[in-house]
Each structure stands twice: as structure tokens, then as C-alpha cells.
Amino acid sequence: MSVCRWLAVISSAVLLLTLPAWGTGRRTRPLPPHEYGTVVLSPDDPTASPVPFRHWEHRSRHTCRLCHVDIGFAMQAGQTEITCEQIKSGLWCGACHNGRVAFGIVSGAGSTCERCHSPFPVGRDRNIRAEFEKLSARLPAGRFGNGVDWAAASRKGLLKPLDFLEGVSFDRPRLENRQGDVSLDARLNGLPDILFSHREHAVWNSCDLCHPDLFVLKSGQTRFTMRDLFAGRFCGFCHGSVAFPLKDCGRCHSKPVRQGGS
């Protein structure tokens, strides 16, 4: 190995060590695995307690696309205007929480209010934690985030998230992917490049979650750096809030380092 190459390796090692300091992204306090990806919806009405929405519970059954395209939830916490009346008439959460797909809004005896308006602070509900542990025990382990390797779980057929909801989804071809992998240049000598797999992403996402808002449809045309990702843009839009977080460097920077150079 030449001196230049060693220098490159050392300098990228230094970068890797100092990079986490950039982590000024959306999350400051790390959430426990069973609350990673939880969005707390806070009603304006002070008599109603907050509603934790847990992604793990929902993504294990339904695709991202179904909620974020067909139903139309914003992909940014606190951006969707939801009321309980709307839910009762079948909108938003009510597309499923109608007593058929999932529990509905019931008052009086057998009230379901507290199943959504949780009396517990986020992270303190032991039943939810137990439910999470039951699910995660049968799925392959991941290192960060939910501690679940969601991609491997779907490859192994352990999860088959539904992509269609009667009366809500519009008719369209099944989610599939004919795009291949895209290799993204890490633009730093010695640092493994990034392999972006359309196949892995098409399991839950649809093309319109990423194109054209996050990435233009031509490889190499969207310019971004790790700093952008930590700020929640581009890949960091999902990786850091719902999909595995950015500190799992090696899952993205996975292509063997090119030989030669210098």
C-alpha cells in the first residue's frame, strides 16, 4: 500500500471519528428501540392527551406508500391536521381505525380513547414494550434504530406489508421495481462507496416518495453530502426518523474501496 493510500485511509478514519459530532439532526435524545420512529401527535385541545403514533406497529403491516401517498399523511411530524371527528368519519387514522381493519373510536363502556390518547409518557407503556418485544423476537436483529433489520425481514418473507386498502387506495399496478442498483460515489478516497438498491426500497416505498422531490430522475444529478443527510434531507429524510439511522455507517457505505488511485 502506498504512502498516499495510507494517508487517505488515516484521514478518512479521522473523519469517521469526528463525524458523529455533526449529528445535529432532528433527534437529539436517542429513543429506546420500541419507540424509535414514534411520532407524538399533540391535540390543540388541552383536555385530550397526546397520541403516540408508532411506526414499527404500522409498517409491519402496511407499506409507507399506503399511508404517505394514498391516505396522504405528511412525512414530517406535526404537519397533518387531524381531528377525532374526521377519524370517526373514516379519514386519516380512521381509514383503518374503523372497527374492521383495526380498533375504532368507542366511548363509554369498552372505551378505546386511551388506546390512542395514552395516559403514559412515551417509552413508559409496558404493554407496548412487551408487544414490540414479541414482534422483534421473530425478526432478524439490526444494530440501531428499532434493533430490527426490516430489509432482511422482508427478504425472508417474515413481513408482507399490505399495499392496498379497499375504498382508499386507487387502482394501480403492484409495487415493483425494474430499476437496478445505483452506485453513489462517496467522493472520498478510502471511504467505501454507497450502493443504493431500488429493489430494497420498492418493498415499502413507491417511486413518488423519492422522485422527483428528493432525487431527480437521473443518476448523479442530485448533489448532497453527509451534512445534508444529518439535517434530514435526501436519504436522511427517512434514515434517522423511521428507517435505520445514519450512525449505521457501514450499511450504506458498503461497496469495497476502489484499489489504485493516488
Site for ligand HEC in 46-85 (CB under 6 A): 47-48, 51, 53-55, 57-59, 61-62, 64, 66-68, 71, 73-80, 82-85
Q: Taking CB under 6 A as the rule, does residue 132 contact ligand HEC?
A: no
Which region among 1-9, 28-36, 100-108, 133-141 touches ligand HEC (by CB under 6 A)? Answer: 100-108
- 255 φ, ψ (degrees, to nearest 5): -80, 135
Q: Can you tell me which of 31, 122, 135, 210 binds ligand HEC, judged by CB under 6 A?
A: 210
Q: Which of 11, 98, 179, 189 binds ligand HEC (CB under 6 A)?
A: 179
Q: Which stretch binds ligand HEC (CB under 6 A): 2-10, 28-36, 133-141, 223-231?
A: 223-231
How far apart (Å, rounded) are the C-alpha atoms in residues 240 and 148? 14
Instruction: Kindly list the distances between the CA atom of residue 86 and the CA atoms of 59, 83, 91, 112, in Å, as whole numbers in the listed order.
Output: 22, 5, 5, 16
State how far Cα 74 lies from the chain centre.
13
**In the complex with ligand HEC, which residue's Cβ is closer, 173 or 260?**
173
- The residues, ordered by sequence, that sit 6+ positions from 9 with a Cβ below 8 Å of its Cβ are 190
Give the whole-angstrom CA distance, residue 61 versus residue 158.
11
Q: Is 150 in the site for ligand HEC (CB under 6 A)?
A: yes
Half-sphere exposure of 34 (CA within 13 A, CB side): 16
Contact between 222 and ligand HEC (CB under 6 A)?
Answer: yes
